[in-house]
Chain A
Amino acid sequence: MSQKVQMQNNKYKPESMISLEDVTIRYGKYEAVRNIYFDIPKDRVTALIGPSGCGKSTVLRAINRMNDLINGCSITGRIVFNGVDLYAKEVDPVEVRRKIGMVFQQPNPFPKSIYENIAFGARINGFTGDMDELVESSLRSAAVWDECKDKLKESGCSLSGGQQQRLCIARTIAIEPEVILMDEPCSALDPISTLKIEETIHELKKHFTIVIVTHNMQQALRVSDMTAFFNAEQLDNGSGGKVGYLVEFNKTDMIFNSPTEKATKDYVSGKFG
């Protein structure tokens, strides 16, 4: 009862897993997102929503240092994970990615067998247990075991798009990261595959902290506990470029039912975006 009251008072705060503190990301000279602050809670699903070009994927990719692969991308501010600034000099991006896994927008299985797709990452991470068991349990967690169990030797690319994406989720689960980042994981998929992946996400949040970027507001509503709404504004330097910023971050039902910002209200009610 007391917990319920606390939640209603909006004071209940789950343990924070990742904190973004004044994060600004630039591509070359141009700012992509500006002054982002928010805390990603542990063992919850946090959704990042907003119109195209507002930098939500950029923020997501910054969390596991995927932006390091892009030439000219730089970041200021701090992203603190388990008390460590991920962009501190002594932090190895490879180790960051072993703790913070990622599922991409386009399904991208390795051109290897289904078994090898799972085993590859596990082996890299020095897995010492029973590989067969790991492959099975990961595929089961990602709800793709039944489709794959008879063709583990076949190429991962022989699966359908939805199955490939769930294979990619299985591959990420297999390395047991603390956080799973998902960058519009369903945007290339049909509604049925999308539904299956959402069910998978519901299962996964029992054990993993999940951050998901989505264009689909219904999806955010269905799967997430917390929602961050990003928007973009025209830059005033006349370049015509846009810079993204965080408008509002709150519990998902608050964002969708009683947002405090007008922009949020307009977006979730479908007036723009």
Chain B
Amino acid sequence: MVIIFGIYCLVMTVPNGKESQFLLRSRPPSEKLIDVGFKNLAIATASMVAIVLLSIVAIVFAGALESMGKYGLHFLFTSNWNPVTNEYGAFTAIYGTILTSLASLCIAIPLGVGTAIFITENFIPQIFKNIIGIFIELLAAIPSVVLGLWAIFVMEPFLRPILNSLNHYMGWIPLFSTGASGPGVAPAILILSIMILPIITSIARDSLNQIPSRLREAAYGVGATRWHTIFNVLLPAAVSGIAGGVLLALGRAMGETMAVTMIIGNSTNFNISLLAPGNTIASMIANQFGEADGSQVSSLMYAAFVLMSLSLLVNIIAQWLVKRLSLKY
């Protein structure tokens, strides 16, 4: 190969009559071959993603077919989950998934975006901003099973009196209508908020940092106060990035399994109260797949399919929202 290359170069330099100092005026065939090879490799790996994704969807769908035929849409609205009598309805888990993920977003969005604003504006010296930033990223590095353990042994016992007094004084609100006696939906929501907080914060921070400083100057230049600048210029300009982060966080919250399973109580009985034990699709699948067979497997597949569809739906809605909200600058 080297010899061919050498001759090739020699041939190329002769017609000029003088010896060129640039040997690669024309590229050797081997290099072009590598180009083509790399292009095909890139196509192969890129389509791999699509193939894996589609086959996962196909297999889950195929597994769920039996249960779909049997229960139909009824499956989504009944909360009777009984492997003994072979009756399945996933309403408790679907409700739990939606409730815990949305409620944790409600807690994490203001906290996360607020933190992001705090560490991108010049409230504190740069060194403290960096330290806070590092801590937020460390929070993301805690394994979910560790967070789950912490939730069981530290957070939930600490919260129980507070949750019980919520029930005592505001029990007339359906969401607080039961007492707290251990694992339940409320601690699960809190642990989810902690888990998605770093995602929202770091993405919001990045998108706020990406706003050109001339936009900030423009706002201050017409006499805007800091708050006015943040809420009327900076946040609208960063909203598409922040919404992207929220979306990612929502996906994480809906699919999160380990920590939620450990703290939510895994009850298949429907209860509207936040303080009672509940269930999510992810924790239900994790808990039951081991000893499931027959139509229970199919029903779990059906639940998994519902979870995937929910994620997809959220993605589509969010993409549309981002497109509507984002400002061009």
Residues in A lying within 8 Å of B, measured CB to CB: 64, 66, 69, 71, 94-95, 97-98, 101-102, 104, 106, 108-112, 120-121, 124-125, 155, 157, 168, 171-172, 175
Contacts and interface: CB of A to CB of B under 8 A. Distances in A.
Q: Which of B221, B225, B236 has the most CB of A within 10 A?
A: B221
Nearest to A121: B222
A97 B215 contact: no
B214 A108 contact: yes
Nearest to A122: B222
Nearest to B329: A111
A64 B224 CA distance: 13
B218 A104 contact: yes
B223 A110 contact: no
Contacts of A101: 221-223
B217 A104 contact: yes
Interface in B174-219: 212, 214-219
Interface in B219-237: 219-225, 228, 232-233, 236-237
B222 A157 contact: no
B217 A121 contact: no
Contacts of B217: 66, 69, 102, 104, 108
A111 B222 contact: no
B328 interface: yes
Contacts of B237: 111
Given A71-B122, A106-B214, A120 B221 contact: no
A168 B220 CA distance: 13
Contacts of B212: 108
Contacts of B228: 124
Contacts of A157: 328-329
B130 interface: no
Contacts, number: 74
The 5 A-B residue pairs whose C-beta atoms are closest, nearest first, are A121-B222, A98-B223, A111-B327, A111-B329, A108-B214
B82 interface: no
Contacts of A97: 220-223
Contacts of A108: 212, 214-215, 217-218
Given A66-B220, A121-B224, 11 more contacts: A69-B122, A98-B222, A104-B218, A108-B215, A110-B215, A110-B218, A110-B233, A110-B329, A120-B232, A121-B222, A157-B328
B329 A175 contact: no
B215 A111 contact: yes
A104 B329 contact: no
B222 A124 contact: yes
B224 A168 contact: no
A111 B236 CA distance: 9
